[in-house]
A and B are shown apart, each in its own frame.
Chain A
């Protein structure tokens, strides 16, 4: 158990002062233009595809957001400037959707998936192999299930006379329809149930990377479990936390199928997050221009979260 880290630890540290590798040694040479071109040629198909199928539609979307384009019901569309954005900020349903999106993201991604994922990963480090395999299998099954299937399972779990209700009745607690009384909590739970596996995998990998001797040294120095977690583990997996938070948040912001299947954004608009609001505007009300503007705003919320994470976790350990 102790021999393996001793080999890898010093080995890794010896790399930087070792013999210089060609990439770090050579200054950027002035290559002739044709040579650069030839070298870039193999990259060009990928680049072209990216531009055509990724950047193209994004640019087109950004343009549409400033028009009053409709799917149907309109002979010509025209440029309307910021009108769509103004409409959005005046629309109480949009503001409600923004608020619910934030609640959903904080509850299910930031608090739920992230913390439970880390907890599970930490516990699994210490668990015996059968327990580890079993837990991993269960959590990952929830993750690999298609979104719609997961949505339906949780709908059956939360609905009136569903599984949860049966358990409550069995415990002599008052019966409750969670999808009706606390829909945003129910869909947040569903998202935690479904997405925790991802965080767990990321954190398991990160925890495995922590050199054993550091934790052992802290243990010898008498640091308690909590102190080790706070002062050693968390700082050392800081980068993984950042990456995981960012990926989780972006994924959660765009969750659609799960909520659609469970509550369709209802009752009323009590679980209508931005993606559902967008869908309603685009495909039920045919307002493509407006919905695209909302999509851009969602993008903004996403990038805001990313910037916050990057700022918070920028300092190197």
Chain B
């Protein structure tokens, strides 16, 4: 075999260490100072970070903000707006933003925050309370109360101005309903009505999926929010939060309502009213529902969000301009029809000012520009958003801009926001696991609920209460 020259090398480490240390230090010093000297924001420039779509063809937000920049610079002569887009999918956007918010050198003056994580960022001390500004801003009275609570922290202060929301309900296929002998103006009053309709479809219209309820970890937050919470918030008296107790600041262990919601999911999959379990637990189930099942008339009822028509817009690959003729909309009822009769969950995004922002006052002025009635309305229509402002919601021009918009806007009055406190993402995962257990049939409802209780304790550091 060929011999490799492996002669012993002289020892050089003794020389290397000081040399390397010195060089590393000097380089580090130059890099760091170079970083520091350039930034430092000017008092006349407001820097705005927002989430840019990863899809290059979608420029809704870019166009809107460019317009706002123009208006703002005209309205406040001598002031400049610098847009700092972050092009990333949701989870990476949060990560990048959180890193920027850590230091005054990188913190922008205004950020676009998801209500899903805003409370975590508040707890981290990343954001500034806006109450002093909101008190002096007449438009704040136009925002409905539930939306105002979306960015309200446990300390009672508000940290963000919502720029719209989303709501959820039941979408149903009128063609399938006709074949099954169900009414075209279907509106179930209780969970039992929903299941009864699904059973009728299963019996009378073979080869379609009667009802889709997102479930399990692969669907992620969609399973928790569109699936489980749409059920859970319709249990009990429907007025108190079934997940989190604000007064004691504790998470609520799985009670009867929790088990009832799990039972519903269990029934759907046990009676094969939902998609095949392996499809339901496919990570691409959301695309499958919006892109294939609904447009192709293969799904009877879908418990889903207000944004679905975005998937059927021109140039989306699943163009379906006539969807509103073929699909009907119904509210998700409460469990036994108890008040208020319907359930919806809401999320959405807010504009917030970082604690380390250089120009917070100017940033709030920019929010005011974006939230004139006309500008807010323009935004809702452009991004298929649901208005959280009373004046816009009442405007016929908004209500008729797209089919379905009135239906989903009316739901805002009876909608719930998640208790999106720092532990929420972990709680959400625990819910998905419990759902998955009953979906596959690996766990009984009681077993899934008790394993949720165990998970909840570790996810929330034992901040759990029984109700």
Residues of chain A touching chain B, judged by Cβ–Cβ distance below 8 Å, are 12, 15-16, 21, 23-24, 28, 33, 36-37, 40, 44, 47-48, 51-52, 70-75, 155, 159-160, 177, 179-181, 236, 263-269, 280, 283-286, 317
Contact B120 A286 (CB under 8 A): yes
- A267→B24 CA distance, assembly (Å): 47
Shortest distance between the CB of A73 and any CB in chain B (Å): 3
- Is B282's CB within 8 Å of the partner chain A? yes
Contact A266 B422 (CB under 8 A): no
Contact B217 A264 (CB under 8 A): yes
Instruction: Kindly identify which residue among B7, B98, B279 contacts A72, using a CB–CB cutoff of 8 Å.
Output: B98
Contact A44 B20 (CB under 8 A): yes
- Is B121's CB within 8 Å of the partner chain A? yes
List B residues 91-144 near A (Cβ within 8 Å).
91-92, 94-95, 98, 117, 119-121, 123-126
- Looking at A71, A179, A267, which has the most chain B CB atoms within 10 Å of its CB? A267
| CB within 8 Å for A36 and B15 given contacts A16-B3, A24-B5 | yes
Instruction: Kindly identify which residue among A21, A24, A48, A285 contacts B429, using a CB–CB cutoff of 8 Å.
Output: A285
| CB within 8 Å for A36 and B123 given contacts A47-B23, A48-B20, A72-B117 | no
Contact B120 A28 (CB under 8 A): no
Contact B3 A15 (CB under 8 A): yes
Shortest distance between the CB of A173 and any CB in chain B (Å): 17
Contact B283 A268 (CB under 8 A): no
Q: Taking CB as reference atom, which chain A residue is nearest B9?
A: A28
| CB within 8 Å for A52 and B28 given contacts A37-B19, A71-B95, A267-B281 | yes
Q: Taking CB as reference atom, which chain B residue is nearest A9?
A: B2
| CB within 8 Å for A285 and B27 given contacts A71-B98, A74-B124 | no
Contact B281 A266 (CB under 8 A): yes
| CB within 8 Å for A75 and B124 given contacts A48-B20, A52-B24, A160-B278 | yes
- A71→B426 CA distance, assembly (Å): 14
Q: Mark B137-161, 1 if CB is under 8 A from A, else 0.
A: 0000000000000000000000000
| CB within 8 Å for A177 and B94 given contacts A73-B120, A75-B125, A263-B283 | no
Instruction: Kindly identify which residue among B5, B15, B126 contacts A40, using a CB–CB cutoff of 8 Å.
Output: B15
Contact A283 B91 (CB under 8 A): yes
List B residues 398-456 near A (Cβ within 8 Å).
421-423, 425-426, 429, 433, 436, 440, 442
Can you spell out 29 A-B residue pairs with CB atoms less than 8 angstroms apart? A15-B3, A21-B5, A23-B7, A36-B12, A40-B15, A48-B20, A52-B24, A70-B422, A71-B94, A71-B95, A72-B94, A72-B124, A73-B119, A73-B123, A73-B421, A75-B123, A75-B124, A75-B125, A160-B282, A179-B282, A264-B218, A265-B217, A266-B218, A268-B217, A268-B436, A269-B217, A284-B91, A285-B426, A317-B1
| CB within 8 Å for A48 and B218 given contacts A40-B12, A71-B98, A72-B120 | no
Q: Taking CB as reference atom, which chain A residue is nearest B439?
A: A267
Q: Mark B196-224, 1 if CB is under 8 A from A, else 0.
A: 00000000000000000000111000000
- Looking at A48, A52, A159, A317, which has the most chain B CB atoms within 10 Å of its CB? A48
- A33→B15 CA distance, assembly (Å): 8
Contact B126 A72 (CB under 8 A): yes
Contact B281 A180 (CB under 8 A): yes
| CB within 8 Å for A52 and B27 given contacts A47-B20, A73-B120, A160-B276 | yes
